[in-house]
């Protein structure tokens, strides 16, 4: 991970701590960042939020909105529940090869 990705990851974590995690915690859940690549934040919902029927809505309405509005360079956040680390790495490799995705 380059310096720029580390800086963005730090900004992402700060926004999550202040604006996202309190809302998830209120429902007994949390989230973890699986990676940041090319302006895309890959994350997993954990705790009671993992597998929740409203996970897609949470992703779209809360996590995407806060990250896109508050972290320059973030284009979107992608929920990666149930994806193996190998598949995630393959996805990241594709994004590196085809940045127009």
Domain that includes residue 39, residue range: 3-97
3-58 pLDDT, tens digit each: 455 689 999 999 999 999 999 999 888 999 999 999 999 998 888 887 778 877 77
How would residue 73 be classed by pLDDT, with cut points 50, 70 and 90? very high
Higher-confidence residue: 60 or 38? 38
> What is the reported pLDDT for 64?
92
CATH number of the structural domain spanning residue 33: 3.30.300.130
Q: How far apart are CA 41 and CA 77, in angstroms?
A: 5
Higher-confidence residue: 87 or 16? 16
Residue in 35, 55, 50 with CA at minimum distance from that of residue 82: 50
Q: How many domains does the chain have?
A: 1
pTM of the model: 0.72
């Amino acid at each position: 991970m380059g310096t720029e990705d580390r800086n963005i990851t730090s900004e992402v974590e700060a926004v999550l701590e202040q604006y996202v995690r309190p809302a998830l915690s209120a429902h007994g859940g949390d989230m973890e960042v699986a990676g940041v690549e090319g302006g895309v934040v890959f994350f997993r919902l954990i705790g009671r939020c993992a597998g929740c029927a409203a996970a897609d809505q949470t992703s779209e309405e809360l996590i995407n909105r806060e990250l896109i509005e508050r972290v320059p360079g973030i284009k979107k956040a992608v929920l990666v529940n149930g994806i193996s680390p190998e598949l995630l790495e393959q996805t990241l490799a594709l994004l590196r090869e085809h940045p127009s995705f």
